[in-house]
Every structure is written in C-alpha cells, then in structure tokens.
Amino acid sequence: MARIKTMQDVHTLHSVPGRAMPTDEGAVFLQLHRLANEKLRLEREVELWLRKKERIEQRMREIEQQMESLRQLAPSMTVESTVRSPKQSWRRMTLEY
Amino acid sequence: MQPTDTTAVLVTRPRAGFVETPFVRGLTERALAYVAAGYPVHLRGPSGSGKTTLAMHVANRIGRPMMLICGDDEFGSSDLVGGHYGYRRRKVIDNFVHTVLKTEEDVAQRWVDNRLTVACREGLTLVYDEFTRSRPEANNVLLSVLEERVLVLPARRNGSSYLKVHPDFVAIFTSNPEDYAGVHKTQDALRDRMVTIDLDYFDRETEVAITQSRSGVPLEDAERIVDLVRACRAAGVSEFSPTVRSCTVIAKVLALRQARAAAGVLVFEQTCLDVLAAEAGLSSKAGKKAQQRRRDAILSLIRQHCPADIDGVVISLARMA
C-alpha cells in the first residue's frame, strides 16, 4: 500500500533543521536544554504511539474474528475492501457488446 | 487536471452468450498483435461485419477503460480535444484592515477537455467508431497523436498547449467502405499511420453461433436462417446486403412467436419478407413490380433452404397469398 501522507509531512519551522552555529557557552546550554526537551517529547510520543498501535491491532484482531464468523454463516459472499485512489474517481459505465 | 464530473469512461464486458469462434479469435489476436507493436488498428468493413463489436472486444482484452467517440459530419477539432465552454467568475473582497476595502474581480473562459484529450492524458483505449463520417479536417489533430505521440492543443487552453500522450493510450478505429452514404474519404496521412484490417461478413459457423446465441432458437433453425440470409446476400435479392443482424432479427421473432424456420410457416415467411425484402419506398408501378419480383425470389429461396420437412413443424397457418 502506498504511504499515506499526513500532517507530519508538512514542513514547519520546528522540523526545518537549524543552521546557526552556537557561538558561546550560554548558547550551548540553551541548545542542550532544547534538545533534552525535544527528546522527552518524542519519547512521550513514541509511548503514546505504541499504546495506540496496540489498541488498533487488538481491534483488527476482533474485526478479523467477526469477519471469519460471518464468512462461515455465508460462505459464498466475498467482500473486498479497497482504498479509493484518485484514478478510481472516474464515473464508470459498463457497456456490454 | 482531474477529470470533471461529466467525464465518464466505459468498461466493456462481453454479454452473456458472446460468441468467440476461431474466426473471431483470429481477428482479435491479429488486432492485439498490432496494438502490442504500438500501432493503431483500423477495422474497415461493410455494415454488419462486426467492426464495432470487435473493437470493443479488443478494448476489453487490452484491459484499460474505454473512451468511445462516434464519427459525425458536424464534428470539429474541439469536439475531439475540447474547448471553451462557459465562464468562471472570481471575486476577492479583502477587508482585513477594516478601514481598507480592496476588491478584485475577473472573468475567465473555462476550458473543458473533450474525450480525445482525456484518453491521451489518462492512457485510455480510444474507440473512434465510424471515424470517416467526420470530415477529414476534423481528424487532423490525430496525426501528431498517432505519430509523435503529442496532442497539440489550442494555446488558449489553461495549462500546457502540448500534451504528451500517455504510453498506455491505444486507438482503435472503425469505418465503412468509402462508397457508403455519408462517408468521407480517409486522409492518406492518417491511413498511413494505422494498420487497416479489412473485414468481410462472418463465416457461416460464426453467423450460426451468433444467431443461436442471441435468439435461443434451435441449432437447426439457426442454420436454416443463416443459409437463407447468405443465399439472399449472394443472389443480390435484397436492396441492401442482409447481414447477421437480419439473421438475429428473424430468429428472435421466431423464438418470441414460438415458430420454426420452415417453408409454409406463415410467421417465418412474413418475417423473412419484412426483413429481407425491405427497400427504399417506391410507389410507381415499376417499383411495385420490382418489389413483387424480390418477394417471389425470397420465397423461392425459403423453399430451397428451409424445406417444410423440419422436425416438429405443424403447418397450421394458411400460406400467404
């Protein structure tokens, strides 16, 4: 499946790497403080993300089980889930010849 | 530019009972080979020789959505590539600073791509049915599409004036011979860019299979009807050469009225006369005589090809006078 674009792909001032070189000890301290904060934020984000991933996987397992039990009830029915791509936005008309 | 809401593409599908005899398969494979080699295919043949159906079958085998254009004498280039249809009005009112009011307004013509442009851009299979019914100059735009793979658009179009043709774009043309009414001569330059397959009427096996499949009549009836129509065609009895369409019309009526294809069956004889003896209306005495001769010839051919000794036929209806 193609990678889905999200807001994370939008470059912001935070995600654009800084270019200025530290000039003195105070600037280095500030830089360290900023990086420590960012590391903390990212660690928290990873933790949240892992928890969310766990919840999603759990829900997907439940859905799979439900689908399996429904398939056993009606074996001849097949349902395909597809992601709509821009190309599929055509208005299609079937023509029999 | 994304296709507009009005743009629809066709997905072809053989109808239930579509007949693919070795004759049809051979033609399809030939056409697909030319398409695979990168050449547009031109199917030329008389009415009822299956050009359009074959074009759709080839499009189906190519596997891309199809765009259908039907040739018309009124066509111009804009009917193929697109044109300016309607206007787009834009008005901006900027009152961000409450003491300053700035307005900006403009009206622009709205360009709408037509079918050829959409097919070239999206790599669809274009079926240009009866393309020689369009005037030759309307088809000029196809020359660069087929050779240089570039669609030249009017400079006033929004966006680029040159559109690079999608590599998956395929063109299939169909046409009647040039002596048909309402048909223009093909441009030499255009004909030179495509591979022309001349089609004749289907072979007997295919005509029988089509007649039986489309109507559901027994095989023996389908064979009798096809033999009768082929005999009429060979003898030149009808004003217009009857085709497999005539076979299916007769067979469908027989199936509907539960009649058999045998001399002496009123429904069969009447249907054959209606379908095969049709002509341009002639009210003169000579015209009526010619029509009577035609009807007599058809009745004679019916007796020859559809004798009354068919299984299960009970001739209960009085014969026509």
Kindly report, residue by residue over B18-33, the tens digit of the pLDDT: 888 899 999 999 999 9
Q: Nearest-CA distance from B123 to chain A in Å?
A: 11
Cβ-proximal residues to B84 (8 Å cutoff; 6+ apart), any chain: B109, B110, B111, B112, B156
Contacts of B15 in chain A (CB under 8 A): 96-97
Q: Kindly give the pairing relationship between strand B102-113 and strand B82-94.
A: antiparallel
pLDDT at B317: 45
> Which has the higher per-residue pLDDT, B67 or A18?
B67
Is residue A54 in some structural domain? yes
Is residue A52 in some structural domain? yes
Is residue A30 in some structural domain? yes
CA distance B102 to B92: 8
Q: Which of A79-83, B4-8, B90-94, B153-157 has the highest mean pLDDT?
A: B90-94
pLDDT at A17: 60
Contacts of A96 in chain B (CB under 8 A): 12-15
Question: B13, A90: Cβ pair inside 8 Å?
Answer: no
Structural domain including A59 reads 24-72
Measured between CA atoms, the residue of chain B closest to residue A86 is B2
pLDDT at A19: 58
Question: Could you give the percent of chain B with pLDDT greater than 70?
Answer: 92
CATH of B22-81+116-198, one of 3.30.390.30, 3.40.50.300, 2.40.70.10, 1.10.287.3510: 3.40.50.300
* Average of per-residue pLDDT across A28-39: 91
Check pLDDT > 70 for residue B184: yes
CA distance B183 to B156: 32
Report residue A84: phi and psi, to 5°.
Answer: -70, 125
* Average of per-residue pLDDT across B48-73: 93
pLDDT at B39: 94
If we measure between CA atoms, which residue out of B128, B190, B174, B234 comes closest to residue B27?
Answer: B174
Q: Which residue of B1, B6, B10, B60 to mutate against A (max A Cβ within 10 Å)?
A: B10
Cβ-proximal residues to B90 (8 Å cutoff; 6+ apart), any chain: B104, B105, B106, B107, B108
* Average of per-residue pLDDT across B196-204: 92
Q: Helical H runs in B258-305?
A: 266-276, 285-305
Amino acid at B236: G
Total structural domains in chain A?
1
Looking at every residue in chain B, the average pLDDT score rounds to 87
Q: pLDDT confidence of B320, banded at 50, 70, 90?
A: very low
Count CB-CB contacts under 10 A for residue A13: 6
Measured between CA atoms, the residue of chain A closest to residue B10 is A93
Is residue A49 in some structural domain? yes
Q: pLDDT confidence of A82, banded at 50, 70, 90?
A: very low
Strand partners, B129: B70
Measured between CA atoms, the residue of chain B closest to residue A94 is B11
Query: pLDDT tens for residues B240-270?
Result: 788 999 999 999 999 999 999 998 899 999 9
Question: B10, A95: Cβ pair inside 8 Å?
Answer: yes
Q: Which residue of B6, B12, B69 to mutate against A (max A Cβ within 10 Å)?
A: B12
